[in-house]
Amino acid sequence: MKKLLLFFVILITTISCRYTQDASDTAFNEFKASSLLKKYEYFKDLSAAIDKKRNDIELYRSEISTFKVEDNEDKFYISQRKSELIGIIGMHNQLCADYNSAMSKFNYRFTNIGDLPEGASEPLRREVKPYINTLN
């Protein structure tokens, strides 16, 4: 009976050590400087892509609002530009969804002031501005 009890104690201790080591390895890999820098750069790239899409959207809106429809060819052109605008808005919203989803994960501590990776000067936004859901 003592041998069986000793076996279970050793088994439970071994399993506990494995879980502890795995948790330690995971924490190290997620929060080491190189990982934080990669995540920070990912968000900077994503943020720049979102800003570009916003500028594209404004450009398309401006062009569509100033265009005068005079014949069927003009109507077709404007219709095509509106379709392109809808596509750009969809891409913008997908980028926003990716940003917001990734930012909501617990291991993005570098978004807090004081926890930035070396070389970073400002924290990233916690959430991107609201999605765009109209053509105007």
66: exposed, middle or buried (C-beta count within 10 Å: 0-12, 13-18, 19+)? exposed
In this prediction, residue 69 carries a pLDDT of 80
CB-CB contact of 35 with 42 (8 Å): no
d(CA 129, CA 113): 20
What is the 8-class DSSP label of residue 35?
H
How does pLDDT run across 80-120, given as a tens digit for each residue? 999 999 999 999 999 988 888 887 775 565 555 455 556 66
In this prediction, residue 122 carries a pLDDT of 65
d(CA 69, CA 77): 9
> Confidence class of residue 121 from pLDDT cuts 50, 70 and 90?
low
pTM of the model: 0.66
Which position has the higher pLDDT, 7 or 126?
A: 7
How does pLDDT run across 19-70, given as a tens digit for each residue? 777 777 776 777 677 877 888 888 889 989 999 999 999 999 999 988 888 8
